């Protein structure tokens, strides 16, 4: 009887938790003029600091105090914030690694540092409280992140942390159920956007460990996420767009990245405001492009620019991204598989047909015959991008149709990768040194893994192993020298640190840990 009572309490936990939730508003709505003044006056070097602060008293009381004091001759904005808010902590800052430990032991110990227990709801906090434990990336990234988590799970699997993987998948299902999608991260200021839809890939990973019942458990969440990404697909006409759906003139339906909020990102408010000001372009349009790049996870990269070296030329929402559409293919096939397990053959057939149609259109619109690589498609100009980026490897990771054809293409892309992306420490995030963090000379764990996975799957095993070994060697060398595993690495000049971006290099680091452990398991040290 005790066993069944425990099980019932476990099942009811999310129900109790939902009842405890309060209506969430982002920091700019709660703190108004105070928020704008703090961000624009750069009270904190990192714009993410204030939006992660926890109020020491009710927001209403703080705002009353602010209104009565802000015009005083001796008013000190930073002092006011410090008196009224608890500044966010970075636990990894106080964690001291032992470089005499091998890197595998270091990562295993780090999971407890990066672990967060179920959250408590705090009025005025931007944190979207989650009912189950989870792993954060580390450093300034104090919350769970959507696409990061899949790559983190690769390492959790190698360490036998199955319960943590399942808890994180349940948290993402909870977010879908309560907010309609998985936000960029569990913060109120991220609710306008998602991130690359890896949820079905996480479900598949968990199912490989626990069996097909996992597909049935998380089928409702996958269907709801699919509805989020496909919102408007059944209503728009050829040549029209709505949110994340684009219907081309020939009736083809594909997806793009998008964010509904027409204002600067709150965690980068000052940066976005100034970028839009300097661009001379329509500000609302600029904010949508900047936010859409954040949804892509590739923020920022010359991949999204009309002028390779100018952030002000960003046009993310004009692109149909190849990586996103490959992930949507995987979501469609996974829903089809779950429906088949449920013996819902008719709906399963519908989703398999959707996936096969998307696979055909991925080849039609994204395979660039001139470059011998999959590239993004600009639906405004009706032209393929000329940017060689690792996103072009996603179709090889997921698409199941015509394996012989994929093998033939694999030979071509392997040659392109060797010429354009391969460096001493792995592959670069793009072929251009444009000064952005998702460009040369930087390499990132998720892009390394997706490239290695795709190459291995299309028969290019030697190049896959070569990239893996270069990345492993670089990660371990930096760990031995610094005691850290970094968010990103300089793979072109392995004696220099990675650069670019809106913040300094972060260590921790969830997806680096996960991918490194997974690659060591496959390829050794």
Which run of H or E residues covers position 443?
Answer: strand 442-444
pLDDT recorded at residue 344: 97
Measured CA to CA, the distance from residue 473 to residue 425 in angstroms comes to 8
- What confidence tens digit (pLDDT) does each residue in 262-321 have? 999 999 999 999 999 999 999 999 999 999 999 999 999 999 999 999 999 999 999 999
Residue 188 counted as domain residue: yes
Residue 351 counted as domain residue: no
Residue 248 counted as domain residue: no
Residue 379 counted as domain residue: no
Domain limit, last residue, from 229, 260, 290: 229
- Ranges of residues in the chain with a pLDDT under 50 are 1-22
Burial class of residue 163, CB neighbours in 10 A (0-12, 13-18, 19+): exposed
Residue 273 counted as domain residue: no
> Which residues are tagged catalytic?
299, 487
pLDDT recorded at residue 16: 36
pLDDT recorded at residue 405: 72
Burial class of residue 439, CB neighbours in 10 A (0-12, 13-18, 19+): buried
Residue 467 counted as domain residue: yes
**CATH number, domain containing residue 138:** 1.50.10.10
Q: Please identify which residue in the block is written with the tokens 């080849």.
A: 363
pLDDT recorded at residue 126: 98
Measured CA to CA, the distance from residue 280 to residue 278 in angstroms comes to 6
Tokens at residue 121, please? 């709801």
Residue 217 counted as domain residue: yes
Q: Please identify which residue in the block is written with the tokens 């690495």.
A: 489
Q: Which domain holds residue 53?
A: 1-229
pLDDT recorded at residue 404: 76
Strands (E), 225-352: 241-242, 245-247, 253-255, 319-320
pLDDT recorded at residue 137: 97
β-partners of residue 426 are 423
Residue 47 counted as domain residue: yes
Domain limit, last residue, from 205, 229, 253: 229
Domain limit, last residue, from 229, 253, 287: 229
Domain count, the chain: 2
Q: Please identify which residue in the block is written with the tokens 């680096």.
A: 512
- What confidence tens digit (pLDDT) does each residue in 389-447 have? 999 999 999 998 877 777 889 999 999 999 999 999 999 999 999 999 999 999 999 99
- Of 430, 512, 424, which is closest to residue 469 (Cα–Cα)? 424
pLDDT recorded at residue 92: 60
């Amino acid at each position: 009887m005790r066993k069944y009572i425990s099980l019932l309490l476990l099942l009811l936990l999310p129900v109790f938790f939902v009842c405890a939730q309060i209506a969430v508003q982002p920091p700019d709505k709660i703190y108004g003029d105070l928020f704008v003044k703090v961000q624009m006056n750069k009270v904190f070097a990192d714009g993410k600091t204030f939006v992660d602060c926890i109020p020491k008293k009710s927001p209403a009381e703080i705002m009353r105090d602010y209104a009565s004091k802000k015009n005083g001759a001796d008013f000190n904005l930073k002092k006011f914030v410090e008196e009224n808010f608890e500044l966010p902590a970075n636990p990894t800052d106080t964690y001291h690694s032992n470089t005499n430990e091998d890197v595998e032991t270091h990562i295993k110990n780090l999971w407890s540092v990066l672990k967060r227990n179920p959250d408590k709801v705090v009025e005025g906090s931007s944190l979207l409280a989650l009912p189950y434990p989870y792993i954060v990336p580390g450093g300034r990234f104090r919350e769970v992140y959507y696409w990061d988590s899949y790559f983190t799970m690769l390492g959790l699997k190698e360490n036998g942390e199955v319960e943590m993987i399942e808890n994180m998948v349940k948290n993402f299902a909870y977010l879908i159920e309560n907010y309609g999608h998985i936000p960029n991260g569990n913060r109120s200021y991220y609710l306008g956007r998602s991130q690359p839809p890896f949820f079905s890939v996480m479900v598949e990973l968990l199912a490989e460990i626990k069996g097909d019942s996992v597909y049935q458990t998380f089928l409702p969440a996958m269907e709801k996420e699919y509805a989020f990404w496909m919102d408007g697909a059944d209503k728009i006409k050829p040549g029209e767009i709505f949110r994340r759906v684009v219907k081309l003139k020939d009736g083809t339906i594909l997806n793009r990245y998008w964010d509904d909020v027409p204002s600067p990102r709150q965690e980068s408010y000052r940066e976005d405001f100034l970028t839009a000001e300097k661009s001379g372009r329509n500000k609302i349009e600029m904010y949508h492009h900047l936010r859409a790049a954040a949804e892509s996870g590739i923020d920022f990269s010359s991949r999204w620019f009309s002028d390779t070296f100018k952030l002000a030329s960003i046009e993310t929402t004009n692109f149909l991204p190849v990586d996103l559409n490959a992930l949507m293919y995987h979501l469609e096939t996974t829903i089809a598989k779950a429906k088949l397990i449920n013996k819902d053959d008719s709906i399963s057939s519908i989703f398999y047909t959707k996936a096969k149609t998307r696979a055909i259109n991925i080849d039609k619109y994204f395979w660039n015959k001139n470059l011998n690589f999959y590239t993004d498609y600009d639906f405004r100009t009706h032209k393929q991008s000329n940017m060689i980026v690792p996103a072009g490897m996603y179709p090889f990771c997921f698409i199941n149709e015509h394996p012989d054809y994929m093998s033939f293409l694999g030979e071509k892309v392997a040659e392109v990768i060797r010429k354009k992306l391969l460096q001493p420490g792995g592959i670069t995030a793009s072929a251009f040194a444009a000064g952005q963090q998702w460009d040369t000379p930087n390499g990132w764990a998720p892009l390394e893994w997706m490239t290695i996975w795709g190459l291995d799957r299309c028969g290019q095993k030697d190049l896959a192993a070569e990239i893996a070994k270069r990345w492993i060697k670089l990660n371990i060398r930096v760990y031995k020298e610094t005691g850290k595993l970094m968010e990103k690495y300089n793979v072109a000049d392995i004696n220099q640190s990675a650069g670019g971006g809106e913040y300094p290099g972060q260590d921790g680091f969830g997806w680096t840990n996960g991918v490194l452990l997974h690659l060591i398991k496959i390829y050794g040290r």
